[in-house]
Amino acid sequence: MNAFLLAALALVDAAFAGFRAYTGRDGRIRKSKRALLAARRGLAVSAPALLLSAALAVTLLVAAADRGARYAELDAAAQRMLLCYASYAVIVALSLGCYLWGPFRAGTLAVVVGLGPLTLVRPLVVLAGAVAAAWGSLPAASVAAVAAVGVLLVEPFVHRRWYAEPV
């Protein structure tokens, strides 16, 4: 269950990473279709990294002498990672909700105080989650490292592949 929640968070993060790679590079007024395309590009880029980390976890699970113990070890690591990311995701969701549905001033404050700084600390949160998952477990460390690198590379890859020049 923890792995599926992490995968869901990674996919949502990938969609936002694609959106962030596009944002600010298009001067057109109506660009919601292009923003959705950018989010889909983020999802498409993140899928191989997500599948790679899942394949590594399954390989480690199948190759283990005691599969039950290995599963418990990987699940505990996923839970530690999820605790780190879930709190960040809740704060981002609250800021985003305030921006989208709050009064104009509250929405502006949500962007300036919430979404902006949260975007800046995102790589640190990803690394903190990977370290929390890797704490005391070498197999979990390898899965967490692959997953964290995959999550952190989505936005730069989408930016360089599709949005290096202004649209």
Q: Which long-range contacts (CB under 8 A, 24 or more apart) does 87-94 make?
A: 88/118, 88/122, 88/125, 89/9, 89/12, 91/118, 92/118
pLDDT in tens, 39-89: 999 999 999 999 999 999 999 999 999 999 999 999 999 999 999 999 999
Alpha helices in 64-110 (DSSP H): 67-101, 104-109
Output the pLDDT for position 26. 77
Output the pLDDT for position 159. 92
Output the pLDDT for position 165. 81
26-51 mean pLDDT: 90
* Measured distance CA(100)–CA(37) in Å, rounded: 20
Whether 129 contacts 151, CB under 8 Å: no
Residue carrying the six token digits 């649209």: 167
Q: What percent of the chain has pLDDT over 90?
A: 69
Output the pLDDT for position 99. 87
143-156 mean pLDDT: 94
Q: Which residues contact 93 (CB under 8 A, 6 or more apart)?
A: none
Cα torsion 23, 11, 13, 134: sign: negative
Whole-model pTM: value is 0.86
Which amino acid does the sequence have at 2? N
pLDDT in tens, 116-141: 899 899 999 999 999 999 998 899 99
